[in-house]
Chain A
């Protein structure tokens, strides 16, 4: 494990005023295959949560034979405790658009969409004119690509890529069966690359600064840096770009308020790391992966309440179509409440833990599959708080 000390990085928000079109020109001077090659060799993995290798995703989409392909920027940002995409779109929107254009050029797409979280509609005031201008500029550069905005439906599940496509197609936001994956059959049934806001900016920056400066950051499984949304019991709440692979203890030393009991890494669908594990866990795909949310809890927090909040969130935000997730989330919530009230014995927690295993292996999408992460990491580490 490549344990690292804390290191602040400035790639995403760097040179907010530099000319993004220059980066695009640089990309257009390369061949699509060269671009994809660079993204692959950078080791960049998706920043939306699942961590799929971005270059490979682009390569798969490029390989599809289709006249129509799409690039979609996932700006639905619904994970509790995450607000970094909003910041990126607010501060360096052009870099996001350039990332989309580079991707479009690389895979052969003519149309792109930014799927914007409903609550972020206030950004449209600035984004709309920017996109209009950007569309003209890229046409002038000879790239046949147009970006449009799409205002989301307001449901957390619509951040899941296939539910997002359904929602864009005017249907109910329900995740699809996979396979087929979006690179084969995505929006409107066409090959689609969908990337997180932050992922796209890293693509822009990898083209601009080159592969090496990015790649030398992080660990072998988690190259580069990442933007974190830090909240909870901290005096330094906010957005930070940090190198990947740092130890949780380093993180807590910097951001904790001295009394940190646990850190929830990756939001409601992520993992809870208790104090005793701070030393031997790193933040990254080989350790604790995260889409960016870091919630810090100090000793006065009830982890029962934390878990209950998450379960209420899941029971509300599950799309409700598949059995393990729809009913499982309700059972977990009702179950911990019943144990707390003494209506069920504490051994019922074991039944519930088994249930999360079923949800993990049998749910249709990432939402139901990842409920186990927070449930088991909180229940196993704070069992007594669940019971008494």
Chain B
């Protein structure tokens, strides 16, 4: 990778390998970033198709299309694909593209590791998707893999576990790469507190990944040995405890939630100042709030399992620690509001998605606060209220932020503008669709509909029908997203180096499209302090 001897002009003729080799042997952060994003998009559509199977079956009471066992496989696979296949790789893709450009580095610190961590994913997901065709069908015990139910799986079991191991290794390696790049490759003069928030949130996310992916690996390995080698970690009849799995799983699982959402905070903290034409309000408090959320994420895990019968003191502790998360999260939301206050706001597609994030993530935060109240959680738990809550923070939360980021940085990546009209159409259809899809699920849950059921009592029929209609609107409007991006890359108008007048940050100091190697010579100090000023 090291080609520091050549001059700047060299980059413009970047001799990159052509054809399949460019991708198979890729060590360039942009190529790898692109592969991550394309992969994530493919998984998003596959997971989305499964969601549509679910919503089609739930369109009306009675079983019209699928067997209940297959329905359970769909909910399980949908979650695994969306979490590990779509959202996490999309973030890693964005980190690959943006971190080197934003910190003034030529590339990621560990390019070959980068290649390896990407190429693990297609194998992992091939294994996972293969389970659809093995005897016993795909895993159907929920993505949380709670034993003893998950141990009843057929031949899919070892494939699923192995796939999760591969995904975990991929995530850990990707995270190490981000940490090393940010800590070692910042341009001279760029202090940690000069970094854009996207780098900050990703740095913290990377530490979360390194901390908790091994925990997940441990949990699923114990499942594996329980299943095949006669151990009884989680088998009551052998002296084990099924609840212990839940503790271990959620010790991974809660930080995982923040792994999915922290980079979104970063993206939104880039986009809102740009389109409000005003520096981010409370930059340092944003960094500290992110760090405190990350810290708190390690001590709230049992709020996912209030109904397992914990001691009173345990329930009180986890209730209070969970409520506490509202404080740094509130600080972030208030800072974003204050950023827009007295700004000069325009509404291009990336800003629209960031604003929808702001409104709808906050809404998901409210239902999260409600879920923290343990006595009320005894009603909400495992009902559709929970489904509504986490989809609000994950879809108009994480997914919208990813899309906002793609719209925002696409001109820099491709050198071309997307079609603003179609982008806005995509935005409105998505936003209307996502609310029609998930808002009624609050009602369903409160009225008593459990989650993960393929059929329901007739009193739940109306809102389920509405929700399904929303699902199809949302799902199909995502095809527009592919169209907009494809169309821009193929035949969009040429984009200037700084397509957004309010954009600050080192990435906008590079020519457009960004050269193959971002910063062969580090950016001058005055550009750093001026460009990275938030």
Q: Do A and B bind each other?
A: no
Taking Cβ atoms with an 8 Å cutoff, the residues of B that contact A are none
